[in-house]
Structure 1
Amino acid sequence: MDLFGVSVTLLATFTGFGLLIGILFGFFGMGGSFLVTPALLVMGYEPNVAVGSGLAFVFGTSVIATLKHRDLGQVDYKLGVLMIAGTTAGIEVGKVGLEYLQHIGLAGSVVSVAYVLLLGGIGAFVTRESLKGGDGGGLEHDVDEDTDVDEDDIPEIAQKIQSYRIPPMMSLRGGFQVSLWMILAVAFATGLLSGFLGVGGGFIRMPALFYLIGVPVPVAVGTDLFEIVFSGGIGSFLYAQSGAVDLSIVVPLLAGSALGARLGAAATSLVEEEDIKIYFGIMLLLGAVAVAVRQVGGVLEMPVLDSVSLAIILGAALLVSGAVSYSAVRELRRDAAERSVTAEA
């Protein structure tokens, strides 16, 4: 059975996939094109359609998730604008480096290895730091603009960067100040990696905002999503001009993610911060394995490994989104039980 010339089964599949990715996108501030584009490629769509439709989906989902984070007070607009400026400059320089590698014929192998190492490295670092932090290092769930962040909750690297008092100093959400030049330097570095690897960079920016600048994790997610609204919007517009955005893909994906993104964003105010970082690290580690499998398949000319890679990506998305949903429900039940005990007392 078809609807508007598209299989109902395919529409249902895209809607379910959109719900799954929306939860991850709203919860982590990343995961859209990282998951959608490879899936569309394996399904047989042309590369430009896969990338263009993925960007359009990222744009729509980031708008939905950002609005929810705004309602929760988890978006630092001032920091977001500064990060956009620095990231844009870094992307341009990264593209120059990528074009040089393409010129000498090393782009494919270097980018593939760098992508796997970066995904795996960030995932391992975040997971290790979170497990090491235990239960005593988490910030409060709700981030109020007038609430100061305890210095013990700020990573050592971020404390070092905050110690460079080079004017002008910028006051950020959480009650601390960071030099404008330090923010731009971090933004430029993340943009450089994004431009070099040809990725949106959400999996780079979110941990950078926390570990390098010291922004609370929920605010780091919300601010990263705010940035993605602009990058995804520009990218999808450019691809749409060349007819590479397939609405039969984008619309059902967005229908599912409209709910998923709000659920994921709401979960950041419920789930323990250490749990957020652990889930994020696991997602990146599994992503690194998936990318590595796909690259090995290309080298060995074994197309079946593309399907294995996709299965790993989908399995990781299902596993982590399920864990996020379970943790959020558990916290809601715990809060309800505590309120019930308080009312009875």
Structure 2
Amino acid sequence: MAIFGLSPALLVLFVGFGLLIGILFGFFGMGGSFLVTPALLVMGYPSRVAVGSGLAFVFGTSVIATLKHRDLGQVDYKLGVLMIAGTTAGIEVGKEVVLHLEDLGLAGSIISVTYVVLLGGIGVFVTYEAVTGSDGGIDHDAADDPADADEIPDIAKTIQSYRVPPMIDLRGGVTVSLWMILGVAFATGLLSGFLGVGGGFIRMPALFYLIGVPVPIAVGTDLFEIVFSGGIGSFTYALDGGVNLSIVLPLLAGSALGARIGSAATSIVDEDEIKVYFGVMLLGGAVAVAVRELGNVYGIDAFDVVSLVLILGSALLVSGAVVYSTVSALRERTTVTAQAAD
């Protein structure tokens, strides 16, 4: 019997896929359209439906995850609104750059190379910094207290040192110039508009490494931004019939639980582990995109399937690691509490 117009097997696949992505989305503040859209394309859905349904799913999941992060006190609304303003302007400029490159016939190759290099570069940087501990790291328990100067990344310290009025006080005890925030937002928006992606994998590390807010707040605030970008994008595609609810609803059914698990995990799992998992996720994505582009260049359709397997494999591996780390941390806390009671 078909439910939502889908066979039982396909329904289970979409619900399970939604659960997987929901965990990643709630934990990292990214991962939705980055995974859903290519999966739907490989499954044979038209590009308009794949993109539109992916955006609608991102919107719904980001609302769920943002509400959970709000309950944990991990959303900085002031920073989120400022970032939305800056990224919106940057996206428009990025689109104009793409249009100019299209006129020159260079858009496809340049965007693909930039995407792989940027995705892989951020993945290597974040993983290296987390493993070596050279960025210091900010304790989750101190997210609402003034951040120690030694716990802020060096780049963020430099940006915060430019005391250009007006100065803005942010969650996590961070004070930074309004113009620095808008500058970072514009730069991340420019890359988002140029690459044609939501930009979560750019904004989340930018909020931590450039502005200096704690990672849990960076994730929650990034999700708050995605509520707006995903909502506007999905509404635009829905007007043109690009949103297929038989795809979106089962995905959201799974992600409703996954997003809350991933969001709750950010307050339990060690912050350096979050950054390691994030870096591994990006590296897997970079390899997957590179394989897909090679397939396009050489006309090897099988590379699309290989690319999808790489994306889903890295997502499954990382989400499994998130759940395992969360359970381990909870067991450790329970043990410590029991020993303290004795």
**With structure 2 as the length reference, what TM-score do the two structures score?**
0.99
Provide the C-alpha distance between the structure 1 equivalents of 2:307 and 2:143, rounded to a whole number of angstroms: 41
Provide the C-alpha distance between the structure 2 equivalents of 1:143 and 1:51, rounded to a whole number of angstroms: 39
Task: Indicate conservation of the 8 Å contact 1:143/1:219, yes or no.
Answer: no
Per the alignment, residue 63 of structure 2 pairs with 63
Q: Deviations 1:243-298 (Å, cap 9, x if unpaired)?
A: 10000100000000000000000000000000000000000000000000000000
Per the alignment, residue 197 of structure 1 pairs with 195
The alignment status of 1:105 with 2:105, answered yes or no, reads yes
Provide the C-alpha distance between the structure 1 equivalents of 2:246 and 2:38, rounded to a whole number of angstroms: 17
The alignment status of 1:37 with 2:14, answered yes or no, reads no
Q: 2:313 aligns with which of 312, 315, 318?
A: 315
Change beyond 3 A, Cα 1:4–1:220: closer
Q: Deviations 1:3-62 (Å, cap 9, x if unpaired)?
A: 243211111100000000000000000000000000000000000000000000000000
Provide the C-alpha distance between the structure 2 equivalents of 1:122 and 1:36, rounded to a whole number of angstroms: 21
Provide the C-alpha distance between the structure 2 equivalents of 1:171 and 1:4, rounded to a whole number of angstroms: 47
Q: Structure 1 residue 140: deviation in Å?
A: 2.0
Provide the C-alpha distance between the structure 2 equivalents of 1:210 and 1:21, rounded to a whole number of angstroms: 22
Provide the C-alpha distance between the structure 2 equivalents of 1:5 and 1:320, rounded to a whole number of angstroms: 31
The alignment status of 1:285 with 2:283, answered yes or no, reads yes
Task: Indicate conservation of the 8 Å contact 1:138/1:272, yes or no.
Answer: no
Per the alignment, residue 140 of structure 1 pairs with 139
Change beyond 3 A, Cα 1:159–1:57: same
Per the alignment, residue 47 of structure 1 pairs with 47
Provide the C-alpha distance between the structure 2 equivalents of 1:162 and 1:282, rounded to a whole number of angstroms: 29
Q: Deviations 1:280-328 (Å, cap 9, x if unpaired)?
A: 0000000000000000000110000100000000000100000000000
Number of positions where the alignment pairs a residue of Structure 1 with one of Structure 2: 342
Provide the C-alpha distance between the structure 2 equivalents of 1:93 and 1:144, rounded to a whole number of angstroms: 34
Provide the C-alpha distance between the structure 1 equivalents of 2:283 and 2:299, rounded to a whole number of angstroms: 24
Per the alignment, residue 93 of structure 1 pairs with 93
> Secondary structure of the equivalent of 1:222?
helix
Task: Indicate conservation of the 8 Å contact 1:90/1:187, yes or no.
Answer: yes
Q: 1:249 aligns with which of 247, 266, 286?
A: 247
Output the amino acid matched with 2:104.
I
> Secondary structure of the equivalent of 1:3?
coil
Output the amino acid matched with 1:221.
V
Taking only aligned residues, the RMSD between alpha carbons, in angstroms, comes to: 1.0
> Secondary structure of the equivalent of 2:57?
helix
Provide the C-alpha distance between the structure 2 equivalents of 1:149 and 1:69, rounded to a whole number of angstroms: 20
Task: Indicate conservation of the 8 Å contact 2:26/2:65, yes or no.
Answer: yes
> Secondary structure of the equivalent of 2:168?
strand
Provide the C-alpha distance between the structure 2 equivalents of 1:3 and 1:86, rounded to a whole number of angstroms: 42
Per the alignment, residue 116 of structure 2 pairs with 116
Per the alignment, residue 214 of structure 1 pairs with 212
**With structure 1 as the length reference, what TM-score do the two structures score?**
0.98
Percentage of pairs with the same residue: 73
Output the amino acid matched with 1:343.
A
Provide the C-alpha distance between the structure 2 equivalents of 1:202 and 1:165, rounded to a whole number of angstroms: 27
Provide the C-alpha distance between the structure 1 equivalents of 2:142 and 2:261, rounded to a whole number of angstroms: 18
